[in-house]
Structure 1
Amino acid sequence: MRGFHILNRKPSGNRKRKFSRPPARKRPNRKQQKKQLVEEPEVTENVEETPEPSQSKNDKIEVEGVVVEPLPNAMFKVELENKHQILAHISGRMRKHFIKIEPGDKVTVELSPYDLSRGRITYRKP
């Protein structure tokens, strides 16, 4: 056994070890744990805190536009109703079902609130 040396061996079985283990932790029993949970309620003052509205993945801006130009790697230049042009790619579901998009098609685009110059084409209007 490397790193574990027995320095003094007596026939009685008492051993002195070079490296000793730390004492074992005592864990509270179940009753003590339940008491701690019951006895320590969280104290709050009458200050009303309104949680800050967080933006999740569901917070998308949906706009309609017309495909202007196809680009490589399933990307398209789309002109929105407000005459802005953005770069958009096809959503995975449209790619999965082989929905073809050509210039002049009306599409629905999802924009992220963080970057309004890029989007995802989610629907092609017939």
Structure 2
Amino acid sequence: MLFACGHKAVDIAKVLGITKPTFYKHYFNEITRAGHAPLMMRARQLERLNNAAEAGSVPAEKALAGMIQAEQVRTMGEKIKERGKSDAPPAQRLGKKEAAKEAAASASGKFAARTPPPMLLN
């Protein structure tokens, strides 16, 4: 329950009145699942509401519908937040000298390399 509220393992060990090594030794399963604790708690809560709604409780049905809608909005928000991000690194910018060389190679018009006279070509 305390992991679901966001407390750290050290603080929970102090609340239980045991040392940190003892807590890690005896509660290692709970510690490894601590990151999923809020989601597991929400799942239990949804399960209880669903059982009450199936038993005919109208307030439970309304609360269940509200929680489901809130979860859908939250997950959609996460998808939208990640939509504009790209995993590919941005293209390397050229330095002054590289840009000047590239511009000189692709010069056209008055500053382009001249074509040789027709007599020199076979």
- TM-score, reference length from structure 2: 0.17
Structure in which a larger fraction of residues adopt strand: 1
- Give 1 or 2: higher helix fraction: 2
Larger RCO (CA within 8 A; separation ≥ 6): 1
TM-score normalized with structure 1 length: 0.16
